[in-house]
């Protein structure tokens, strides 16, 4: 018989879902973990199953046998649980509580797969794995040879297991680690034809927590991205908005208030106190969580990755507690109603807070993200380049960033104005002129060498690693402000 071990932690005794807590708070992350564990437990109800608990003295987890994971890192703890249950039952499935959309049929199929192959692995969409099972011993060295919670964890673990015997793969699933994974989990739970009561309870909780702030477009709205710790640019933007007659209540920032520039604390305070609406960017997420890096998704060892270490450390050292608390409470999405349709404002795309969506991104990708957001239009800001596209009459828009030039050979920042007019939504791109010389000098005075000070003056990025060939080819070509189209008709 196959035994299922559900790997869990006990809130209050161990830190639970620390990356998720950055967006939900510790209490929210603990509630999610408990409800998600109950959902997995309900899915495994027809099988021999155990709670594999991280704490030796946990009093909860009463509805099935408990098994202590033991001391050590994740690899050592999984090895101990696997070995124990292999001796007892001859076959084992290890699952976490991070994929509560798992179905009984999927678990049974994984167990039945062990009739034909000695191992089975369930890949996770983030590069890890949501399930591992086997009927043969696995040496401790294999478990501990892998770096867990990394983008290549699943691939490396698979490579380590294959010398021991053939491995079958299940369907890949989302493994919920961040707050921006939760809308996808909710959609998957809603789509289950035979959801368990525990899965329905989790869906109801997610639905209640996931209510998105809505900003009614009762006049022109100003959209902007990436202040990037550039105080001079941020001050200039609010001055320009006042000149245009647009109050902070009709301004929306796509996130990354803090990044490359010198004045993280002052810029965060200015935006926080302005009354403008802000969605959480990856920099806010990481700084609020006390993380070690910006979570930008740069290729390890690339120039962008190396430069980010310096500016992130500078921002982390200068931000105050009030700004961190504000960042932790930022919404990950704001909706703008337009006629009888809805525009979603997020930082990256609908599924990843640090997704690079570029002007050259294929229409099929944009279409898939619009579907994932359940929106008729999407405003994202992460890549920092201003552009607008229509995808089968649906809108994709990036207002650009104010704190860093658009790699067009000019020192200008960029923002946009969306205006409801005569049944259409007019979208226009605007250049922001500010004292870029002072902003560059501030970077130098802060001791932040490495190219961003020069970028503010030359208008060219220190690295274009994150861009596609089309965007690289446009480097140094000045962008022309103005209407992006004749207007998007949202109704």
Residues 170 and 56 in one domain: yes
CATH classification of the domain holding 50: 3.90.550.10
Q: What would the two tokens of residue 361 be?
A: 């991104």
Residues 452 and 306 in one domain: yes
CATH classification of the domain holding 274: 3.60.21.10
Rounded average pLDDT over 155-162: 95
User: Any idea what DSSP says for residue 212?
Assistant: P
pLDDT score at 277: 94
Residues 200 and 241 in one domain: no
- As to burial, measured by CB atoms within 10 angstroms (0-12 exposed, 13-18 middle, 19+ buried), residue 284 is buried
Rounded average pLDDT over 179-193: 85
Say if CB 307 and CB 44 are below 8 A apart: no
State pLDDT tens for residues 435-488.
999 999 999 999 987 689 999 999 999 989 889 999 999 999 999 887 654 455
Report how many domains make up the chain.
2
State pLDDT tens for residues 289-337.
888 889 888 888 888 888 888 899 999 999 998 899 899 888 889 988 8
Residue 490, in any domain of the structure: no
Residues 282 and 166 in one domain: no
Residues 105 and 192 in one domain: yes
Whole-structure pTM value: 0.61
pLDDT score at 487: 54
Residues 114 and 235 in one domain: no
Confidence band, pLDDT 50/70/90 cuts, at residue 25: low
Q: What percent of the chain has pLDDT over 70?
A: 95
Residue 48, in any domain of the structure: yes
Residue 491, in any domain of the structure: no
Residues 194 and 231 in one domain: no
Residues 474 and 332 in one domain: yes
Residues 238 and 264 in one domain: yes
pLDDT score at 491: 41
Residues 287 and 178 in one domain: no
pLDDT score at 486: 45
What's the CA gap between 224 and 390, in Å, rounded?
19
Handedness of CA 280, 285, 287, 288 (dihedral sign): positive
pLDDT at 27 over 50: yes
Residues 319 and 448 in one domain: yes
Residues 240 and 202 in one domain: no
State pLDDT tens for residues 117-146.
999 999 998 899 999 999 999 999 999 999
Q: What percent of the chain has pLDDT over 90?
A: 65
Domain span at residue 424 reads 221-483
What's the CA gap between 463 and 470, in Å, rounded?
15
Residue 216, in any domain of the structure: no
155: which residues sit within 8 A by CB, 6+ positions away? 127
What's the CA gap between 172 and 167, in Å, rounded?
14
Rounded average pLDDT over 212-217: 78
Confidence band, pLDDT 50/70/90 cuts, at residue 274: very high
Residue 453, in any domain of the structure: yes
């Amino acid at each position: 018989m196959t035994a299922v071990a559900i790997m869990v932690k006990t809130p209050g005794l161990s830190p639970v879902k620390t990356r998720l807590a950055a967006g939900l708070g510790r209490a929210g992350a603990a509630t999610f973990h408990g409800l998600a564990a109950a959902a997995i437990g309900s899915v495994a109800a027809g099988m021999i199953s155990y709670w594999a608990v991280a704490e030796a003295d946990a009093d909860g987890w009463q509805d099935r046998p408990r098994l202590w994971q033991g001391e050590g890192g994740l690899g050592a703890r999984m090895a101990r649980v696997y070995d124990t249950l292999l001796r007892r039952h001859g076959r084992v499935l290890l699952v976490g509580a991070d994929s509560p959309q798992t179905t009984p049929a999927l678990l049974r199929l994984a167990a039945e797969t062990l009739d034909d192959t000695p191992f089975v692995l369930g890949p996770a969409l983030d590069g890890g794995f949501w399930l591992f099972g086997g009927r043969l011993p696995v040496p401790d060295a294999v478990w501990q040879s892998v770096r867990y919670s990394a983008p290549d964890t699943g691939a490396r673990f698979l490579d380590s297991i294959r010398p021991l015997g053939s491995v079958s793969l299940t369907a890949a699933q989302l493994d919920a680690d961040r707050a921006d994974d939760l809308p996808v989990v909710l959609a998957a739970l809603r789509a289950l034809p035979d959801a368990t009561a525990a899965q329905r309870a989790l869906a109801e909780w997610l639905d209640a927590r996931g209510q998105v702030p809505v900003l009614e477009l009762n006049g022109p709205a100003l959209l902007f991205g990436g202040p990037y710790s550039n105080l001079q640019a941020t001050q200039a933007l609010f001055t320009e908005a006042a000149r245009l007659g647009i109050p902070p209540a009709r301004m929306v920032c796509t996130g990354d208030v803090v990044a490359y520039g010198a004045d993280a604390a002052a810029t965060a305070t200015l935006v926080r106190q302005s009354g403008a609406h802000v969605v959480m960017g990856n920099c806010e997420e990481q700084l609020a969580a006390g993380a070690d890096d910006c979570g930008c998704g740069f290729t390890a060892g690339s120039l962008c990755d190396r430069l980010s270490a310096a500016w992130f450390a500078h921002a982390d050292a200068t931000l105050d507690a009030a700004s961190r608390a504000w960042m932790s409470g930022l919404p990950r999405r704001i909706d703008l109603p337009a006629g009888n349709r809805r525009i979603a404002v997020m930082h990256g795309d609908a599924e990843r807070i640090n997704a690079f969506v570029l002007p050259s991104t294929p229409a099929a990708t944009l279409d898939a993200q619009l579907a994932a957001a359940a929106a008729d239009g999407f405003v994202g800001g992460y890549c920092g380049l201003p552009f607008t596209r229509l995808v089968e009459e649906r809108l994709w828009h990036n207002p650009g960033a104010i704190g860093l030039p658009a790699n067009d050979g000019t020192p200008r920042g960029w923002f946009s104005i969306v205006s409801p007019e005569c049944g259409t939504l007019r979208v226009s791109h605007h250049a922001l002129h500010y004292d870029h010389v002072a902003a560059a000098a501030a970077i130098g005075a802060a001791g932040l060498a490495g190219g961003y000070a020069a970028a503010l003056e030359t208008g060219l990025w220190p690295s274009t690693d994150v861009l596609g060939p089309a965007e690289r080819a446009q480097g140094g070509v000045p962008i022309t402000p103005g209407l992006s189209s004749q207007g998007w008709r949202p109704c």
